[in-house]
Structure 1
C-alpha cells in the first residue's frame, strides 16, 4: 500500500513548481525555497486568519510533496502511478494478462508480450509488482496486468 493512495490525487510536481524530468537536486532547491516562503513563522500577525490558514495549507502540501518526491522509492512509485493514470485516460484496455502469460527475458530482466500491431508490452519484475497497466512500445494499446489474489 502506497502512502499517498489515501490522499486525494494531487500533482506533487506542480506543487513544487516542477515536472517529472526535474532532477532531485533541483526538486530539493525548489522545495527549500517554497518551504521558507510559506513557513508559518514567516507571516506577520496582522495577516487575515484565512490567509494564514491558506499559507499553512500550502506549507503542508509542499512538505508532503517533498516527502514523496525527495525519496527515491516513493518517487518511483508515484511516477509509476502517474504513468498509470495517464494510460487510463488514453482509452480502453485491449486485454487482461497474468504475468505468467508473459515471456521472461533474462538479458534485460523484463517480462514481455507481443502486441497485435507488432510492437511489444514490457515490464520489469519490480514494476510488475507496482503497476497494473502497460502500454505497447509501438501503438496506443494498453494491457491490464492481473495479479493473483
Structure 2
C-alpha cells in the first residue's frame, strides 16, 4: 500500500474527521493494544509482520491526528486535495496495488461493478514526467484519477511520480 502520509489517516484509525480528540485517542488505544508487537509474541510469521506494519501505521497516524496543530494542517491538505479533484473519487490506492499485465504493458485493478480500472505504462511515465516538470524536478505526492471502463466510478492512483518499481515492457 501507499506510505502512511498518502493514506487517509482517519481510516487507519477507523475514525472520521468529525471525531473528537477523545474518540481518536480511544480508537488509537484499541488498535495499539490489538497490534502491539509484545502481544504478537515476537513471532516471525506473516501475521506478526502484518501486525507490526499495522501498529506502525496506527502510531504514525496518531502522531499527526493526536496533535491539534498537525491535525489541523493535515485536514487542510486533505481538503485541498479534495477540492482539486474534478469529480468524486471512490477510493485511493497505489500503483503497486494494481496488477501488472506484461503482455499488454498495462496496470489493472478490478472495480466493484465487475469492470476495471487500467493505466498503461506510457500513461504512468507521461504523468511522472509532467509532475516532475511542474515541481521543478522535486518528487512530491502526486497521482492520477482514472475511471472504470464500465461504470461511473473513478479512483485516485497515488505514487505515480515516486521511484516506483516500473516493469519494462518487452516490445
The alignment yields a C-alpha RMSD, in angstroms, of 1.8
Determine the structure 1 residue equivalent to 2:20: 23
Shift of 1:8: 4.6
Shift of 1:48: 5.5
For residues 98-147 of structure 1, the C-alpha deviation after alignment (integer angstroms, 9 at most, x for no partner) is: xxxxxxxxxxxxxxxxxxxxxxxxxxxxxxxxxxxxxxxxxxxxxxxxxx
Q: Which runs of 5+ in 1 are unaligned?
A: 1-5, 92-149
- 1:53 maps onto 2:49 in alignment: yes
Paired with 1:9 and 1:89, the residues of 2 have a C-alpha distance of: 16
Paired with 1:20 and 1:29, the residues of 2 have a C-alpha distance of: 14
2:11 is paired with a residue of what secondary structure?
helix
Paired with 1:49 and 1:80, the residues of 2 have a C-alpha distance of: 39
Deviating above 2 A after TM superposition, structure 1's stretches of 4 or more consecutive aligned residues are none
Count residues with an aligned counterpart: 85
Q: Which runs of 5+ in 2 are unaligned?
A: 88-171
Shift of 1:49: 1.8
Determine the structure 1 residue equivalent to 2:81: 85
Q: What TM-score do the two structures reach when normalised by structure 2?
A: 0.46
For residues 29-58 of structure 1, the C-alpha deviation after alignment (integer angstroms, 9 at most, x for no partner) is: 00001001000010145x562111100000
Paired with 1:15 and 1:63, the residues of 2 have a C-alpha distance of: 10
Paired with 2:5 and 2:62, the residues of 1 have a C-alpha distance of: 16
Could you say which structure has the larger radius of gyration? 1
Determine the structure 2 residue equivalent to 1:143: none
Q: What TM-score do the two structures reach when normalised by structure 1?
A: 0.53
Partner of residue 65 from structure 1, selected from 31, 54, 61? 61
Q: Kindly tell me: are residues 14 and 7 of structure 1, through their superposed partners in 2, closer, same or farther at Cα, counting changes over 3 Å?
A: closer
1:22 is paired with a residue of what secondary structure?
coil
